[in-house]
Amino acid sequence: MAGLPQHRPQQISLGKLESEILGILWQKGETTAKAIHEVILSDPDRELAYASVMTVLNRLAKKGWVISRKEKRSVYWQALVNEAEAKSLIAYDQLHRFLAIGNADMLVAFVDELDQTAQAKLNAIADRLQQIRKQRQGE
């Protein structure tokens, strides 16, 4: 079973440009801000200053999404989690925030309004949770 990654950014929420730059890092792997800037500018309808890319990379580093390393005169940036791990973290954060604002009656009312496919997924989740708990008790 795939769980949450060991590394968790301090702040999960990402802005549009932060998400785009993180996506470029996932695609390219470790790379420079210049290379990221070039990818963005490869769209003829886009304009973005190099300084803006640097600002966003530094913001992503403060949030705990990326790290940098200096090699000679170049700085290389790398994502600390891969795309699948990021999706897990974002989904976990959204679920956690949803559960934090709702009481059981409200949550039941929401679930009752879901279509059959969504209800079937929730039932599958509940069944899997029971299996996991039984396995843990048996250990």
Question: 32 - beta bridge partners?
Answer: 76
Mean pLDDT along residues 20-34: 97
CA distance 7 to 4: 8
Mean pLDDT along residues 32-61: 97
Q: Is the model's pLDDT at 139 over the cut of 80?
A: no
Integer Rg of the chain from CA: 20
Q: What pLDDT sits at residue 119?
A: 84
CA distance 40 to 15: 16
Per DSSP, the residues of 28-73 read: H-SEEHHHHHHHHHTSTT----HHHHHHHHHHHHHHTSEEEEEETT
What is the amino acid identity at position 30?
A: E
* pLDDT range class, residue 1, cuts 50, 70, 90: very low
What is the amino acid identity at position 43?
A: D
Please provide the CATH number assigned to the domain covering 16-83.
1.10.10.10
CA distance 132 to 1: 10
Please report, for the chain, the start and end positions of each structural domain, with discontinuous segments joined by +.
16-83, 103-139
Angle ∠(83,88,90) on CA atoms, nearest 5: 90
Q: What is the separation of C-alpha 42 from the centre of its chain, rounded to a whole number of angstroms?
A: 25
Residue bearing the bigger pLDDT, 3 or 84: 84
Task: Please give the mean pLDDT across all residues of the chain.
Answer: 91
